[in-house]
Amino acid sequence: MKGGDGPTVLVVAGNHGDEVEGLIAAGELARELQPDEVGGQVIILPAANRPAVEAGLRTSPLDGGNLNRAFPGKPDGTPTELLAHAIEHLLLPRCDAVLDLHSGGSSLLYEPCAILGASEDPDVAARQLAAARAFGAPLILRFARLPGFERSLGGAAARRGIPNLATELGGGGGTNPERAALARAGIRRVLAHWGLLEPGGEGEPGSEVLDVGGPEAFLHAPGPGLFEPAVTLGQRVGEGEVLGWLHAPFDVDRPPRTFVANAAGRVVCLRRAARSEAGDCLLHTARQGTAVDFQAETFSL
């Protein structure tokens, strides 16, 4: 959609195929946006990894590919690698910024938030923070450089030196009116912030910025079982507080394994499904001033 000589922005939904809010809002934007509204160019991928979106899965059923781990892609690779290659080499060179709409997917629920990825360029980092504030979610999470960052869309944007604003808009395989409304309004607020749309009438709500720290912020299942949380989404926990239990219902003589918090924080992401396999993220916390580089093997963006 081109309507002027302003910046070019890429809006991506369906990077993971089971993240609902972005899919709904980006599809609506693609249908409704008119060229005379746009002071630049908006490129919308409303269902970026379409096979995954059609299947309602995080990854592509064609090749098992996770698009957000496939960059920079390959020109002669699998379908997911081809897609990543096209985005990185055909679209991103034309773009001044990226908005990458994620949610918690089928297995996780997030407090609706904007996500600041790692950036070594202070100017890009500042522009990402400004865009995150414009998005208007009540929470902004600042992630340290996570394993696999270079293979994500955020990593591809970083290679181009352009800001990438990501979101986690909820999850659990569904949505609700509040989260759907945030997605719709947030996209338009960011496009207005980047100079592509006229500013809307709504003010920008304040956003709290929290850091997602090292491995102590993440709780992963050590093996299969049923996860029973002792906390709710958004709850503040202290060090040593019980976070939940992993039950082994197939072995009634075995007591559940109890998890306690290694550090204080707020539960910003919580597993929705009880059934868990080894390595599944059960929850993670965030707090101010803890963003550090770390080398966890799994994470949930």
Options 16, 69, 85, 188; binder of Zn ion; rule CB under 5 A: 16
Q: Phi, psi at residue 261, to the nearest 5°?
A: -70, 130
Of 19 and 21, the one with the shorter C-beta distance to Zn ion is 19
Among the listed residues 284, 144, 292, 128, the one whose alpha carbon sits nearest the alpha carbon of residue 217: 284
Inter-residue contact 289 to 213 (CB < 8 Å):
no
- Residue (16 or 247) nearer to Zn ion, CB: 16
Among 69, 102, 142, 193, binds Zn ion (CB under 5 A): 102
Give whichever of 107 and 285 is closer to Zn ion, judged by the CB atom.
107
Question: Residue 178: which of 167, 169, 187 has the closest Cα?
Answer: 169
Nearer to Zn ion, 19 or 111 (CB): 19
C-beta of 54: minimal distance to Zn ion in Å? 16
Q: Which stretch binds Zn ion (CB under 5 A): 4-12, 16-24, 35-43, 198-206?
A: 16-24
CB of 163 to Zn ion, least distance (A): 18
Judged by CB, which is closer to Zn ion: 55, or 248?
55
* Minimum distance of Zn ion from residue 262's CB (angstroms): 25
The token pair that represents 60 in the structure block: 């592509």
Beta bridge partners of residue 258, listed in sequence order: 245
Choice between 16 and 266, CB closer to Zn ion: 16
Could you tell me if 72 and 89 are in contact, meaning their C-beta atoms sit under 8 angstroms apart?
yes
Interface segment toward Zn ion; rule CB under 5 A; list 19-27, 206-214, 260-268, 288-296: 19-27
Report the C-alpha gap between 294 and 275 in whole angstroms. 27
Helix, strand or coil, per DSSP, at residue 220: strand
Question: x-or-dash pattern for Zn ion, window 246-265, by CB under 5 A?
Answer: --------------------
Token digits of residue 195:
């100079």
Q: How far is the CB of 105 from Zn ion (least distance, A)?
A: 6
Nearer to Zn ion, 4 or 147 (CB): 147
Measured CA to CA, the distance from residue 19 to residue 56 in angstroms comes to 8
Instruction: Provide the mask over 31-50, with x wherever binding to Zn ion is found by CB under 5 A and - wherever it is not.
Output: --------------------
* Site stretch for Zn ion (CB under 5 A), options 13-21, 30-38, 71-79, 174-182: 13-21
- Stretch near Zn ion under the rule CB under 5 A, chosen from 9-17, 20-28, 78-86, 208-216: 9-17
CA 160 – CA 24 distance, rounded (Å):
28
The β-bridge relationship of strands 139-143 and 113-116 is parallel
133 binds Zn ion (CB under 5 A): no
Count residues near Zn ion (CB under 5 A): 3
Tell me which stretch binds Zn ion (CB under 5 A): 32-40, 100-108, 211-219, 238-246. 100-108
CB distance 72 to 88 below 8 Å? yes
Cα separations in angstroms, 239 against 130, 215, 227? 32, 14, 20
Question: For residues 18 and 102, what is the distance between their CA atoms, to the nearest angstrom?
Answer: 9
* Token digits of residue 274: 């009880």
Residue 283 belongs to what H/E stretch? strand 281-286
Q: Which residue ranges make up the site for Zn ion (CB under 5 A)? A: 16, 19, 102
